[in-house]
A and B are shown apart, each in its own frame.
Chain A
Amino acid sequence: MAAIVGLGITAFTEKVKNYSGFSPLNYLINIRISEAIKLLKRPDVNVTDIALDTGFYSSQHFATTFKKLTGYTPSEFRKKNITPTE
């Protein structure tokens, strides 16, 4: 990725970190998890599909990353978030 924009790895990492507050890898994970959250809130898509669609290599890998970032496993998160308002 650094090469595409013509920067060294250190400079690239620093620029991404300065902007987003994340390292490049974590920034990518942030975007993937943001997408995953949207899909988890739609009851018609299954968790494994969400994991693969958002670029994780297995549902296990997805679940661990998701829990680390949000404190929930994907299925707990879904259960808590598709209860009707009021």
Chain B
Amino acid sequence: MDCIVTIEIGTGAIRVTAFDMNSSLLGSAKGSYPTFHARPDYSEQDPEQIFITMLYILKNFLNEKIHPQKHNIVSICFSSAMHSVLPIDKFGAPIGNAMVWSDNRAKIEAEDLKNSELGKSLYKVTGTPLHAMSPLNKITWLKNNDSERFKASKKFLSIKAYIIQQLTDEYVIDHSVASATGFLNIHQLRWEEEALKRAGITKQHLPELVSVLYSPKSLKKEYQTLLGLHDKIKIIVGSSDGCMATLGAGVWGDGKATITIEESGAVRVVGKEVIQDEQQRIFNYILTEGNYVTGGPTNNAGSTFEWYAKQFGDFTRDYELEECIENMILDAAKVSPGSEGLIFLPYLQGERAPMWNPNARGVYFGLNIKHELKHFVRATIEGVLFAFYSIGKTLQEHRGFKSLSANGTYASFPLLTQIIADIFNLPVHIKMNSGSDSVACGGFLLSATELGMYKSLDEAAQKVKLLANFHPDFHNHSIYMKHFEIFERLGVKLHDEFAAIARLQQDT
């Protein structure tokens, strides 16, 4: 039987998934790797460890699930997290670890650029918010603060570009991942001279730009032998995970938005045009030419639930973290919407859209003598989801949507999905048969379209079956809105106090 394999290089793990040609899941495997924080603002990963993990997981998966069944792999499609920077030397060897999306060390470079005229014009042409996450600011940071490493860097790759180079010997970066670097002119699909100049590099320092459908010539012979793959397999470089998740959630076209809740999260819409936000609050990334995914990311989603569970969860019965989170959510269901007036600002790791404030911090507000632990649980969940609503509201200033499609690990908890429906006052769809995650499903749809099984991505996206089992309750919606107003005002009013406390925390 023919099949399509997707390889997702996520922030914390590699996931390999196989589908038959009818989009049914044949199997998947996952392997994680650590993120290192040598200093508070640093987030790094070891490129060799990611590569070896990918190789091992893929090899075992093929040997266990694909080769024994004599499945014939037609195509392998990659996707990855955005914003990573890996400097390599003249021999192609990494110089140190890769900086990943959550690395915040370039926050001063980002702030400087944001406040300049150059920043305004770069946001217009690149669509990438001027934040520490952006490789443009990370490379500028290297130039300003680590000149030895900067000078030794022959090229700056993304993690996916590195993996693909190791496998095929080609230095390429797809338009989608490139559109999140801050260097790509998204209107003309070329590297933007002014951005390169700002970081002190030339286009020779970046991989060659290719379409997400680009197919490198072939896998190196050694890897063909090791993995038992023939050279007719179509390797597709693929896109960023965010764009894949949007396609894989079946959200392609007007009137719809996706909400992804993993460690971090995002709200996204898709359209044929770039959305220009005067206040630079949203991103515009490319999937394929003329298809833009526009949205806003939040730093504090699953990571906040995990933090809460680790601090306040009940582990007395040797619960796993996941079980502990499930129990917490059951507790939250015992409290009415609005948590009886307890409000949580979830900015434990600063916040990106729409406020873009790395200094923002967490706050419980409105605490009274009657509040119990269960109110904290519910307030924590509601606060995280209010942050998603802030992003959705910002997007709606530019492009309205009438329904949401929820995906990601935490979107599958019915209580959370219902709260999303109530807060947004919109129906929320989830995928039928959610055996595979949306990123992998997006990889399948992209490959299948490229292989000619669908005429267009629009047609492919329609194949995703969605269920609308969460309808908004207007009464709850109005309660949430009263709380949200306070939530939103607090985020603005505390701006100076956030800066002051972040300064104090930096010094200790």
Contact = CB atoms under 8 A, between A and B. Distances in A.
A34 B93 contact: no
A71 B154 contact: no
A25 to B, nearest CB: 12
Contacts of B32: 19-21
A77 to B, nearest CB: 9
A22 B30 CA distance: 9
A76 to B, nearest CB: 8
Contacts of B90: 84-85
Contacts of B93: 38, 41-42, 81-82
A21 B93 CA distance: 26
Contact of A85 (B51, B154, B220, B227): B154
B72 interface: no
Contacts of A76: 222
Contacts of A12: none
B474 interface: no
Interface string B391-419: 00000000000000000000000000000
Nearest to B154: A85
Interface string B1-36: 000000000000110000000000000011111000
A21 B56 contact: yes
A31 interface: yes
A85 B14 CA distance: 27
B57 interface: yes
Interface string B214-229: 0000001011011100
Contacts of B31: 20-22
A20 to B, nearest CB: 5
B15 to A, nearest CB: 9
Contacts, number: 76
Contacts of A85: 88, 90-92, 154-155, 171
Contacts of A38: 48, 93-94
Interface in B42-65: 46, 48-49, 51-53, 55-57, 60
Given A34-B46, A34-B49, A69 B56 contact: yes
Contacts of B92: 41, 81, 83-85
A26 interface: yes
A21 B222 contact: no
Contacts of A70: 52, 55, 222, 226
Nearest to B33: A20
Q: Interface residues of B: mostly helix, strand, loop or mixed?
A: mixed
Interface string A50-71: 0000000000000000000111
B223 A20 contact: no
B91 A21 contact: no
A35 B49 CA distance: 8
Interface in B141-191: 154-155, 171
A22 B56 CA distance: 8
Q: Which of A21, A26, A30, A84 has the most CB of B within 10 A?
A: A21
Interface string B88-127: 1011111000000000000000000000000000000000
Contacts of B29: 21
Q: Interface residues of A: mostly helix, strand, loop or mixed?
A: helix
Nearest to A38: B48
B52 A41 contact: no
Given A20-B31, A21-B56, A85-B155, A34 B48 contact: yes
A40 B48 CA distance: 11
B129 to A, nearest CB: 31
Contacts of A71: 222-223, 225-227
Contacts of B56: 21-22, 26, 30, 69
Interface in A1-49: 19-22, 26, 30-31, 33-35, 37-38, 41-43
Contacts of B220: 80
A71 to B, nearest CB: 3
Nearest to B223: A71
Contact of A37 (B48, B60, B91, B171): B48
A33 B222 contact: no
A68 B154 CA distance: 31
Given A21-B32, A22-B31, A34-B46, A81 B91 contact: yes
A45 to B, nearest CB: 12
A20 B154 contact: no
27 contacts: A20-B32, A20-B33, A20-B53, A21-B13, A21-B30, A21-B32, A21-B60, A22-B31, A22-B53, A30-B52, A33-B52, A34-B48, A34-B49, A37-B51, A42-B93, A69-B55, A69-B56, A70-B222, A71-B222, A71-B225, A72-B222, A80-B220, A81-B91, A83-B91, A84-B92, A85-B90, A85-B171
Interface of B: 13-14, 29-33, 46, 48-49, 51-53, 55-57, 60, 88, 90-94, 154-155, 171, 220, 222-223, 225-227
Interface of A: 19-22, 26, 30-31, 33-35, 37-38, 41-43, 69-72, 76, 80-85
> Nearest 5 CB-CB pairs, A to B?
A21-B31, A71-B226, A41-B93, A71-B222, A34-B48
Given A33-B48, A71-B222, 20 more contacts: A21-B14, A21-B32, A21-B57, A21-B60, A22-B53, A26-B56, A30-B52, A31-B49, A33-B52, A34-B46, A34-B51, A37-B52, A69-B52, A70-B226, A76-B222, A83-B91, A84-B90, A84-B91, A84-B92, A85-B90
